[in-house]
Structure 1
């Protein structure tokens, strides 16, 4: 019997035999500079029906290890040592034909980046249909709609007829999850499967994965940089650092007693765990000033005047509903709040809540339908062209998508220098000095100046975007999901940087995010938005300790790690 004749049946697996076992795995990449050993002596075991999480920062080897298990390493990568055993069969160097047989019905994959993993010219439903057909599954309209609905996409029949560009980032990620789960694989490799999703939708998707594990015996290999999510969702956690497994064990045990210094750093930096530590301390009556992450900005009791005042802000979009017809869609509905100078105000809510639309209006990138935005006592709608140019210098954005917010034709020096040139600040030498200082501030080597965005990781690109926003020494920075693309250690570093800058320069932040764990660490004031309306507002402590709205309670309950009861010593 050849390997191609091997059939995989869950009932055939002995209960004590791993579904997937990786032994002493080594992965090597051939580059122009020679061989690069990306993974060394990696090992992990996944039993049938078990969820195992691999955590680590970018470049740690966690995604590379998973890609090797499904036979999707890049062309210059190869397994150079060790074994990958699937149900006892070594697939580390299996033929392409054999790997194609295994993919889909036996091993499923949910990749991280929805923009590069969905075909832009195929409708979403067709892409689901292709997966179902390739694995011999029913692929009618009802089957496609069911797959999309199970992944959390509403109005699935209509969504199936749309293209990826018509979906939000979170919806595209859900479509990828739908495709990965469509054939009910026995092992699902989920590479940051919910990084683009709101916490409530994230919980829905992860609850669905848990349901599959219970009902079908599906095993899950979860790759994430969120240690709180890993600990809450996985039976075991494997920590990777610089291509090696440095620690592994039951998730709660590893959280409570991390032995390796790198694991200890991850535990101390994870926003969701920091939020939980604060809550545990409060429950025990402990003062939390010393327990807050160092990113917490210290705000004087007597706050200065309002730098931003939002009054009855409304934005209505015209949506085409047919030839010559349009319907009104109210994205922001009569929103009012103020932002004190030198503080951080967070706007939180799910995708579609209107929070990013508010940010775009504050930045003068979208005109309000009605209402006022008052900056430093002046109504921004009354500004002339010269005054708007001056306003741009004082209010700067950091956008969410580090792939789309940097010009691929500009090197990093030109990218960061551009605001200085546009505003005619300094000469060539002083601008270069400023760029070097900014790179130091965001912890990027100065050699980065001559590189291009496609040569950087997502986290590095976001740090470049932050450096560019800081170039003009602004007074207000609008951060639209500015740290959502970063690993927890880099995220903590960036939040520390933002807090230090706020303390030293008196900066004001308007922080748009769906991550309430981050909000707990950095914000002084919270505004909660739902379906365009401001449903709750107050100090961070008030909103977290005594939420009034059910929607706010649902957001707080959905924080990864919120259900973990950490002992005080971890705090």
Structure 2
């Protein structure tokens, strides 16, 4: 019997908040003194209720949630206020008591899958350890069922693999499986679906809805996706600079925001049909979307129109099986497309569809099994070491997992400066100036230069990764879920920054993403992938307005809250 069912059978007070935070203050000790990360925060979650905390990176969302489960960093402490769980003050509870509560009473799905999964343990072993620790059945079938409920296909086989053999979205699903495995009374979900495609996102969120309905599980959802918050949360709490600035019923708050900061969040949120584009069409004028280039990009006539051509690209992996036998897995199956110079092409599809594998082959980080990649008229498989070094400067990546792609031993200055130093660009003074400019461009304070990746939030780390990719002024940028970890304000800023750079410098983007609202805003062309195959391609307007394939239609229909973010008269039209 699950802990949640036992809880209700014991007749707990349904009128009492399951989690209540009152005037919470959290400080962090630094070499320069205490830093107030959260001040006077307050929120209430009733049994079976879903409450979303929204706000930009560094606003205190995750810090507040970590305090509720007793997992603040060693230099953090609750400096004031109360955290009441089912009436018990746990703000300064002993470690023994918090261990008793974690898992079966309070579960958590952390934001960063690569740093929260043990790289030397198989996925199934990590799920089994969680089940055993909470006294639940932990056989192979139990592990497979938990992984299947989190949307992981072929769960029994996947349980025998290691985290590095999973895509980013698959790793996130493994974390979700672990967090849900014990059916906790309260689940803290920190960006639980930011790495997931919309169809799997819907599956996970439907599973959470089932838990809240049937078992009374409460969910504290930390997200930067306002559409998701509008569709799935009962209440929304808005945090800004460590304080709660507005709270209320989700639809009412997001449709009629009162606080200036909430108004900025809502106005910056991408929707399926960007309101800036929609209003322009209604008025019969050309789009005034800030993401549209204001001037045509001038390109030398001698240069090929297609800066990148992918021809019959295939990648087959060997997967370990029972008794040491291996099986072939075709991750990318005969894919062909081209990217015109100075444009943005988006590759979309479910997690595991082969999007990121294509990106790695384009970057020459993974050798194709067959087919070829032609960059600027040259087959990249023919490049020698010197030519490959020059290619690296012209084509730069922004990876999906910022924590895994940033060296934890390098401070932020050295991280961003490293490509400049590697390619012998400028001197020490000019490189420092360039780093400061890049930090400004991605909305990070220059004081961040001396900090390390573990001292930054997930969104801040992603901004560092973007700054590093821009350091060498590349011609082509491969963006693998480049804005999935960013709050809507910074996301809008970064997307506009990328658009401005494209307009001014003629940059070309290959955008790997599951966020179709972002695709609608930034992409000129879309390639839709399903199970390694390219199933649909065309201009963004054609694919979104007149999708031909059922799979594409399913992706579009699964976008959370797109209609809810529009004014009521438009949403009901």
**1:499 partnered with 2:495:** no
TM-fit CA distance, 1:494: 1.3
Distance in structure 2 (CA, Å) of the matches to 1:261 and 1:371? 53
Residue pairs, 1:205-220, within 5 angstroms: 205-220=204-219
TM-fit CA distance, 1:245: 0.8
Which residue matches 1:266? Answer: 265
TM-fit CA distance, 1:431: 3.5
Distance in structure 2 (CA, Å) of the matches to 1:503 and 1:205? 38
Aligned pair in 2 of structure 1 residues 541, 173: CA closer, same or farther (>3 Å)? same
TM-fit CA distance, 1:358: 2.0
Distance in structure 1 (CA, Å) of the matches to 2:124 and 2:388? 44
Which residue matches 1:478? Answer: 478
TM-fit CA distance, 1:13: 3.8
Which residue matches 1:35? Answer: 34
Alpha carbons 1:276, 1:561 under 8 Å: kept: no
Residue pairs, 1:183-202, within 5 angstroms: 183-202=182-201
**1:489 partnered with 2:489:** yes
Which residue matches 2:392? Answer: 392
Residue pairs, 1:374-393, within 5 angstroms: 374-393=374-393
Secondary structure at the counterpart of residue 104 of structure 2:
coil
Residue pairs, 1:96-245, within 5 angstroms: 96-245=95-244
Alpha carbons 1:280, 1:568 under 8 Å: kept: no
Alpha carbons 2:110, 2:192 under 8 Å: kept: yes
Distance in structure 1 (CA, Å) of the matches to 2:472 and 2:54? 36
Alpha carbons 1:309, 1:374 under 8 Å: kept: yes
TM-fit CA distance, 1:298: 4.9
Secondary structure at the counterpart of residue 194 of structure 1:
coil
TM-fit CA distance, 1:510: 1.0
Alpha carbons 1:61, 1:242 under 8 Å: kept: yes
Distance in structure 2 (CA, Å) of the matches to 1:40 and 1:324? 55
TM-fit CA distance, 1:91: 2.9
Deviations 1:537-557 (A, max 9, x none): 111111111111111111112
Deviations 1:196-251 (A, max 9, x none): 22221111111100011111121111111211111111011010111111001111
Deviations 1:168-214 (A, max 9, x none): 33222222222222222222111211222222111111110001111
TM-fit CA distance, 1:444: 3.2
Secondary structure at the counterpart of residue 529 of structure 2:
strand
Residue pairs, 1:441-480, within 5 angstroms: 441-480=441-480
Which residue matches 1:550? Answer: 550
Secondary structure at the counterpart of residue 189 of structure 2:
strand
Aligned pair in 2 of structure 1 residues 570, 255: CA closer, same or farther (>3 Å)? farther
Which runs of 5 or more residues in structure 1 are unaligned? 1-6
Alpha carbons 1:278, 1:288 under 8 Å: kept: no
TM-fit CA distance, 1:563: 4.7
**1:567 partnered with 2:564:** no
Secondary structure at the counterpart of residue 22 of structure 1:
strand
Which residue matches 2:336? Answer: 336
Distance in structure 2 (CA, Å) of the matches to 1:204 and 1:338? 33
Residue pairs, 1:248-327, within 5 angstroms: 248-271=247-270, 273=271, 275=273, 277=275, 285=282, 290=287, 292=289, 294-298=290-294, 300=296, 305-319=305-319, 327=327
TM-fit CA distance, 1:113: 2.1
Secondary structure at the counterpart of residue 397 of structure 2:
strand
Secondary structure at the counterpart of residue 12 of structure 1:
coil
Which residue matches 1:402? Answer: 402
Distance in structure 2 (CA, Å) of the matches to 1:371 and 1:562? 38
Residue pairs, 1:346-365, within 5 angstroms: 346-365=346-365
Aligned pair in 2 of structure 1 residues 384, 28: CA closer, same or farther (>3 Å)? closer
Which residue matches 1:516? Answer: 516
Residue pairs, 1:86-97, within 5 angstroms: 86-97=85-96
**1:16 partnered with 2:36:** no
Aligned-CA RMSD value: 3.0
Distance in structure 2 (CA, Å) of the matches to 1:69 and 1:22? 8
Distance in structure 2 (CA, Å) of the matches to 1:98 and 1:326? 45
Distance in structure 1 (CA, Å) of the matches to 2:33 and 2:526? 51
Deviations 1:511-542 (A, max 9, x none): 11111111111111111111221111111111
Distance in structure 1 (CA, Å) of the matches to 2:411 and 2:431? 15
Which runs of 5 or more residues in structure 2 are unaligned? 1-5
| Alignment: residue pair count | 562
Secondary structure at the counterpart of residue 461 of structure 1:
helix
Secondary structure at the counterpart of residue 356 of structure 1:
helix
What TM-score, normalized by structure 1, do the two folds share? 0.89
The answer to which of 131-140 and 208-217 deviates more is 131-140
The answer to which of 515-524 and 18-27 deviates more is 18-27
Aligned pair in 2 of structure 1 residues 286, 527: CA closer, same or farther (>3 Å)? farther
TM-fit CA distance, 1:434: 3.1
Alpha carbons 1:132, 1:183 under 8 Å: kept: yes
Alpha carbons 2:111, 2:458 under 8 Å: kept: no
**1:529 partnered with 2:525:** no
Aligned pair in 2 of structure 1 residues 457, 289: CA closer, same or farther (>3 Å)? farther
The answer to which of 18-27 and 254-263 deviates more is 18-27
Secondary structure at the counterpart of residue 259 of structure 1:
coil
Alpha carbons 1:277, 1:568 under 8 Å: kept: no
TM-fit CA distance, 1:302: 11
Deviations 1:307-355 (A, max 9, x none): 2222222333444557896544332222222212111111111222222
TM-fit CA distance, 1:11: 5.9
The answer to which of 63-72 and 324-333 deviates more is 324-333
Deviations 1:348-394 (A, max 9, x none): 11222222222222223333333332323333334444433333332
Alpha carbons 2:123, 2:160 under 8 Å: kept: yes
Alpha carbons 2:194, 2:484 under 8 Å: kept: yes
TM-fit CA distance, 1:131: 2.9
Alpha carbons 2:272, 2:516 under 8 Å: kept: no
Which residue matches 2:3? Answer: none
Which residue matches 1:3? Answer: none
Secondary structure at the counterpart of residue 245 of structure 2:
strand
Distance in structure 2 (CA, Å) of the matches to 1:286 and 1:444? 37
Deviations 1:425-469 (A, max 9, x none): 334443343333333333334444444444443333333332332
TM-fit CA distance, 1:15: 4.2
Alpha carbons 1:396, 1:476 under 8 Å: kept: yes
The answer to which of 369-378 and 530-539 deviates more is 369-378
What TM-score, normalized by structure 2, do the two folds share? 0.89
